[in-house]
């Protein structure tokens, strides 16, 4: 399958980084895309990458149930259905903070965004996909290498990404009767503003600070598009896409 003309996607965290790259890739392939994020101006910048593309910008805080409800209502009102949710919005939280010094408010913010937000969006997508005709759709959760192996001083981010794997598995199982396919992409060192520090130096498990290789975020976007354009009878349950030489297999 090459293009998904008239297919409808919701992309969270679409104002920058991986979310922007995936949204642009889908728009260029003929998808209609609802762009969700905290800042309306960055969503409009994403839409401007594909002049004439079928984009809808909806300012959304995924940790707020009322914002998520409004996002999916606006998407269905504009486009009629939802075929794909790329559950991407997330935050690292404060970096380099030992677990004993991490403020509870910082922990809660990461959990609210990365886990609760992912659940709320998946729940809204699930409800819509179950009710619409034809029934079904696909949810792709943005996991992380940290869903497998942590970095030092990343307890909140790592805990949420491990939890996201459980969310993916449970949603995948529960979606079977309704033609809802759910998978996860685990990404390592895609070159974005959030990972800029990797190239100058990142704390390693042995206590050293060392630069790490990164990869083009467009390679992630193409992988998400491949997963998205499979027929619903096929599913990539888990995919890992990473900079080839990054210290993942040898982390720790």
Active-site residue list: 157
Distance separating alpha carbons of residues 105 and 57, to the nearest angstrom? 29
Instruction: Please enumerate in sequence order all residues whose Cβ is within 8 A of that of 25, keeping only pairs 6 or more positions apart, or say none.
Output: 218, 221, 222, 224, 225
Query: Closest by alpha carbon to 83, among 54, 117, 63, 44?
Result: 54
Instruction: Please enumerate in sequence order all residues whose Cβ is within 8 A of that of 54, keeping only pairs 6 or more positions apart, or say none.
Output: 27, 31, 32, 33, 79
Pairing type for strands 180-188 and 202-203 reads unpaired
Contact indicator for 42, 15 with CB cutoff of 8 Å: yes
Contact indicator for 164, 141 with CB cutoff of 8 Å: yes
3-state helix, strand, coil in the chain (%, to 5): 45, 20, 35
Cα of 185 vs its chain's centroid, Å: 8
């Amino acid at each position: 399958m090459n293009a998904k003309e008239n297919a409808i996607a919701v992309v969270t965290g679409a104002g920058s980084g991986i979310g922007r790259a995936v949204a642009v890739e889908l728009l260029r392939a003929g998808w209609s895309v609802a762009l969700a994020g905290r800042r309306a101006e960055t969503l409009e910048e994403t839409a401007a990458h594909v002049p004439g593309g079928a984009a809808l910008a909806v300012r959304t805080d995924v940790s707020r149930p009322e914002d998520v409800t409004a996002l999916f209502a606006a998407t269905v009102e504009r486009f009629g259905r939802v075929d794909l949710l790329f559950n991407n919005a997330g935050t690292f939280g404060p970096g380099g903070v030992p677990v004993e010094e991490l403020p509870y408010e910082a922990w809660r913010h990461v959990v609210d965004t990365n886990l609760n937000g992912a659940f709320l969006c998946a729940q809204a997508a699930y409800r819509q996909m179950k009710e619409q005709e034809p029934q079904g759709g696909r949810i792709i959760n943005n996991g992380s290498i940290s869903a497998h192996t942590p970095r030092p001083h990343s307890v909140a981010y790592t805990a949420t990404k491990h939890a996201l794997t459980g969310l993916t598995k449970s949603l995948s199982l529960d979606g079977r009767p309704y033609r809802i396919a759910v998978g996860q992409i685990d990404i390592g060192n895609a070159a974005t503003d959030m990972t800029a520090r990797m190239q100058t130096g990142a704390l390693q498990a042995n206590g050293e600070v060392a630069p790490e290789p990164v990869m083009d975020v467009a390679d992630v976007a193409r992988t998400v598009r491949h997963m998205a354009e499979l027929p619903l009878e096929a599913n990539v349950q888990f995919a890992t896409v990473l900079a080839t030489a990054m210290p993942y297999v040898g982390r720790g």
